[in-house]
Amino acid sequence: MSEKQQQYWPIFTEKDEIKTFWNKKSINFAKQTISYQQLMKRISWKSNKPTEYEFILSEEGVLFYKKNNKVKGYVQLNEDISLKLIDLKISNKKTDAVKVIRIKRTKDIFIYIWNQDYQYTFQFLKYLCQFCFVQNLDELYTLQDIIGKGGFSKVYTLTPNIRLPNQPFNYAGKVYNKNELLSKKDLKKFYHFIRSECYVLKRINYPYVLKLCEIIQMDELLILVTEYIKGGSLYQYLKDRKRLTELESTQILLKLALGLQQVHNLGYVHRDIKLENVLIDKDQLKLIDFGFAEKICRERLVNGQGTAGYIAPEVFMKQPYQEVGDIFSLGVIYYSILSGKAPFRSNSYDALLKLNKECQIDFSELRFPNISQKTMYLLKAMLQKQPENRINLQDLLNQLTISQILSPTHNMASTQSVVDGSVGLSFNHLQSKNTLKSFYQNSQNSFTDNHSQISEQKPSKQQRNRRYKSQSLDKKGMFFKSSSFKPSLRNIYQIKIEQSDDNISQTDLEQPIPQENLRFLQTSYQTLNYKKFI
């Protein structure tokens, strides 16, 4: 390799400029969420004497070690720290070598850890792989059939050589070959593309984004191990069905928007959202291929690459690519699955780019028969040529969530993430169970107060009939039968949310809100927010 090529291969290598392995500064251990802990023996580069410690890995990727219940040191794991299973001879005695995990920060700074039971050593390795890159393939996986090809990578099915409980039988492996990668003219660009993709995927664990399980860096290969989705792309799915219903299209859009929200929350944009980059299988949907993902830059256009027909018009004007650029590409997908046709179509690549740039889109009723005005409004808002006029992601989610929840054919179970509050609507403060409890009690108290004021008055027949129109939701989101639950929503907006959790007694916490009442309460609140939004 030339000196220049050596800068970009291997893609992942140890880079920390440090003098010690462990950080000894104080840290609030109580704030860390424990992911895995195990008694392990340790040898450092300074000492050959095995010592047993309790090792603890947090969900945030911080590795601690403790002795006598006291934290002795910690390290924040990342993609610049390597892991490798190796055979290590512990002493000069005639004993068999032991399988150990080498955790390496620099060329000369590393530790070995292991458990006498290899099962625990291997299990700990799998947990550590969530945050670091690993230098083993044969100990972990066997490459099987090729299932896809890209511009400079191939995708294979992988089977684990040691399968842990609850572990899938198959994975997908995106394989980059050293020689093929080094032959690329824009080697530096590809290097940063791959690292950005891994950075984003390693930090997202969400149902609608493809999960990156491990990064395997070998001498000649780089393998990105992801979850395996049996179905094909949304492109193939649409090709088989010609066009999708308005309801199914909107459900797909909602899931993609929720997945995209995770990317934007990291401070990144995807930049290559298209039908081919969405995997779909039964109820599963995954946004994939983050090769063009980059940090959001609001000052200038960093990279003008994209897929013709999906590119946000501002890219052609050399304007910065921000979050609404992804919204435009998402709008192209929505247009395509609703109508069965792409908004920009041409057999010539140059002509397709020209149409994409001009952004003259057919929204006629002939193109969208039997599509509601509400959906057409949303579609047009996503495909606005000027980025400042385009709907932003939060407003899109607000509209989609209300649309889904209030849809008479909506399946509550299919969008549980919406019902349980994980969508960033304007009632984010109601996400905790305690706050919902307080909200529920406040509504009940309001009803009691109101009821006491009118109890002395004999209700008219019309009032009695109106009283029995309070309803609850069945499993399909349809209103059915009268309910004894009659919340007053008169002063919902006056609730002091920051104090609501403190107003709940232990007895209250032990008495859960009836599910049908909770669903009605949530829908009522969302209806009010919907009216405010529009």
Asked, for residue 434, whether it belongs to a domain, the answer is yes
* Residue 302 counted as domain residue: yes
Question: Which among 104, 128, 152 is the end of a domain?
Answer: 128
Q: 278 and 386: one domain?
A: yes
Q: Is residue 133 part of a domain?
A: no
Does the CA dihedral 363-366-372-375 come out positive or negative?
negative
Q: Which residues pair with 280 in a beta bridge?
A: 285
Residue ranges for the binding site for ATP?
174
Looking at 180, 203, 227, the residue that finishes a domain is: 227
Backbone phi and psi for residue 154, each to the nearest 5 degrees, phi listed first:
-130, 150
Q: Tell me, what amino acid is at 36?
A: Y
Q: 62 has which bridge partners?
A: 76
- Report the CATH number at residue 124: 2.30.29.30
**Do 238 and 380 sit in the same domain of this protein?**
yes
Q: In total, how many domains does the chain have? A: 4
Looking up residue 185, the CATH number of its domain turns out to be: 3.30.200.20
- How high is the pLDDT of residue 405? 55
Whether 111 and 157 map to the same domain: the answer is no
Are 368 and 378 spatial neighbours (Cβ–Cβ below 8 Å)? no
Following DSSP, what letter does each residue of 87-132 receive, concatenated? EE--SSSS---EEEEEEESSSS-EEEEE-SSHHHHHHHHHHHTTTS
User: In terms of domains, do 377 and 484 share one?
Assistant: no
User: Could you tell me if residue 455 is inside a domain?
Assistant: no
Looking at residue 186, what is its pLDDT?
A: 85
146 and 121 in a common domain: no
Residue 275 sits in the same domain as residue 383? yes
Are 249 and 381 in the same domain? yes
Annotated binding-site residues read 174
pLDDT at 4: 78
Shared domain for 88 and 215, answered yes or no, is no
Mark whether 353 and 500 lie in a shared domain: no
**pLDDT attached to residue 455:** 42
Domain boundary among 128, 154, 169: 128
The verdict on residue 345 lying in a domain is yes
Residue 177: predicted pLDDT? 94
Domain of 199? 141-227
Q: Is residue 457 part of a domain?
A: no
Q: Is residue 401 part of a domain?
A: no
Q: Which of 337, 309, 343, 312 is nearest to 326 (CA)?
A: 312
173 & 158 share domain: yes
Claim to verify: residue 473 and residue 525 sit in the same structural domain? yes
Same domain, 116 and 202: no
Instruction: With respect to residue 328, please indicate whether it lies within any of the assigned structural domains.
Output: yes
Kindly list the averaged pLDDT for each block of 10 residues, start to end, along the chain of length 534. 84 87 85 93 79 95 93 94 93 78 94 95 97 96 92 92 93 95 87 94 96 97 96 95 96 97 97 97 93 93 91 96 98 98 96 98 96 96 98 96 59 36 36 45 46 46 45 37 36 34 44 57 52 41
Q: Check residue 41 and give left, alpha or beta (phi > 0: left; psi -120 to 50: alpha).
A: beta
Cβ neighbours of residue 172 closer than 8 Å, sequence gap 6 or more: 147, 155, 156, 157, 158, 225, 226, 227, 228, 229
